[in-house]
Amino acid sequence: MRAGSPRLLREINDRAAIEALLRNGPLTRSELEGLIGLSKPATAQLLTRLETEGTVLRTGLRGGGRGPRAQLWAVNGALAHVAAVDLTPDAVDVAIADISGALLTEHRAPMPRTGVVEAFRAAVAKAASQAGLTPDALRHVVVGSPGAVDPADGGLDYAPHMPGWEGFDVPGALREALGTGVTVENDVNLVALEEMVAGRAVGVRNFVLVWPADAVGAAVVVNGVLLRGATGGAGEIDAMRVPDPANAETGTGRRGGRYGDLLDNAAVVKLARAHGLSARSGEAAVRKALGAGTPGREFLVDLARRIATGVANVVAVLDPELVLLSGDIAQAGGTALVDLVSAELRTLVVPRTAVRLAMVTGKPVRSGALHSALSVVREEVFGLPAATTEPFGPR
């Protein structure tokens, strides 16, 4: 063997053990031995070495009954901390986690129309303090936001609905305010990442995720990698010009208008009203329609036509394996709405692309941001390969 190869082998085994502990949580020595394929003595030596370095910790015991209880080992979460942020026009939602992925605290604060960077810094600082940290103690912060960061100047483009965030280098300003690494990523891209990690797109190499709502957006994944485009604008379909294929008359331009204008909250409420359904929000209208007999069915068909008209343009160009519908309106409509969109799509394009409901609910933008931040930091601290979906732009 050439010089240095035993050290290289140790590093490879160490990374395999750390990855197994991160993926599975606390493990006994014998469980870890089975996962990484080392002998009992080699696994014991590995754990001793990692414990001496402070990389792993003893954490409780497993078992009982007649036999002895086995020592559990886990990654030392205190090695590094990250923040995941869901930034919207009205609020900033922050989560702090350690490098093991353990969630330490959450904090939500309103977002003003002016002084946005200071308001953002204050929200992250509050969350960090709740975890016993300062902002500059965070190893990395990933922010999910509507719009996309232009790689040329760091500006937040395609985001006219984000008052106060225009005209400056957003990642640079946030890095300076927090004193740590910051990546800003499109919110729908992060939802797609979360679907790849823990949702319907696990193992899917080519797919499109569409979020029909105010400022409708899409994420495009090709060969397992997020496609961002030359200016970060891939998937920004809100301004795409499409006709309104709905049967009900709502005063929209039949010859073509903004795709987003057909699917925002007001437009969906208006479409429901045209079918005799009254609701205060698009989500409520869709839920009401599910139990409203023929009028509800006709409203959902019209809504599906609107969604499918825009999706068809994307499918015709990309021919993906899968289209995922995500967001409140999609979740409210469930498989009933998804099936209608699928049926309409088949009348518009040649590819027979499967349409499914996204699996990840709750706070998918923040969850995707957390996985992205952990990917960055685990590469830096442990040398683990970063996901191919790692956020775009400078850290």
Find the length of the chain.
Answer: 395
Q: Which residue has the tokens 């992060």?
A: 190
Q: CA 357 to CA 338: how far, in whole Å?
A: 6
Phi, psi angles (nearest 5°) of residue 38? -95, 165
Are 137 and 99 spatial neighbours (Cβ–Cβ below 8 Å)? no
Closest CA to 326 of 205, 194, 159: 194
Which class for 2: exposed (0-12), middle (13-18), buried (19 or more C-beta within 10 A)? exposed
Q: In this structure, what token pair is assigned to residue 142?
A: 């990933």
Contacts of 333 (CB under 8 A, 6+ apart): 286, 289, 290, 300, 303
DSSP 137: G
Instruction: Decide: helix, strand or coil at residue 219.
Output: strand
| pTM of the entire predicted model | 0.91
Phi-psi region of 224 (alpha: psi -120 to 50; beta: other; left: phi over 0): left
Per-residue pLDDT of the chain (395 residues; tens, 9 = 90+): 344 578 889 999 999 999 999 999 999 999 999 999 999 999 999 999 999 999 999 999 987 666 678 999 999 999 999 999 999 999 999 999 999 999 999 999 999 999 999 999 999 999 999 999 999 999 999 999 999 999 889 999 998 889 999 999 999 999 999 999 999 999 999 999 999 999 999 999 999 999 998 889 999 999 999 999 999 999 999 999 999 999 999 988 777 789 999 999 999 999 999 999 999 999 999 999 999 999 999 999 999 999 999 999 999 999 999 999 999 999 999 999 999 999 999 999 999 999 999 999 999 999 999 999 999 999 999 999 865 333 333 33
Are 154 and 195 spatial neighbours (Cβ–Cβ below 8 Å)? no
Phi, psi angles (nearest 5°) of residue 49? -65, -45
Instruction: Decide: helix, strand or coil at residue 72.
Output: strand
Q: Where are the domains of the chain?
A: 5-75, 79-186, 200-357
pLDDT at residue 4, rounded to an integer: 55
Q: In this structure, what token pair is assigned to residue 365?
A: 């933008």
pLDDT at residue 387, rounded to an integer: 56
Q: CA 253 to CA 249: how far, in whole Å?
A: 10
* Amino acid at site 266: A
Instruction: Determine the topology of domain 200-357 in CATH.
Output: Nucleotidyltransferase; domain 5 (3.30.420)
Q: Let me know if the fold of 79-186 is the same as that of 200-357.
A: yes
CA terminus-to-terminus distance, the chain: 39
DSSP H or E run through 116: helix 116-130
- Number of C-beta neighbours around residue 29 at 10 A: 16
Q: In this structure, what token pair is assigned to residue 134?
A: 């300062």
Instruction: Decide: helix, strand or coil at residue 212.
Output: coil
pLDDT at residue 65, rounded to an integer: 61
Q: Which CATH number fits domain 5-75: 1.10.10.10, 3.40.190.10, 1.20.1250.40, 3.20.20.30?
A: 1.10.10.10
Q: Which CATH number fits domain 79-186: 3.10.310.30, 2.40.30.10, 3.90.1150.10, 3.30.420.40?
A: 3.30.420.40
Half-sphere exposure of 95 (CA within 13 A, CB side): 22
Instruction: Decide: helix, strand or coil at residue 111.
Output: coil
Instruction: Decide: helix, strand or coil at residue 378.
Output: helix
Crossing angle of helices 265-274/282-289, nearest 10°? 40
Closest CA to 261 of 212, 313, 211, 323: 212
Q: In this structure, what token pair is assigned to residue 54?
A: 């402070």
Q: Which residue has the tokens 């005063």?
A: 251
Q: Which residue has the tokens 């790849």?
A: 196
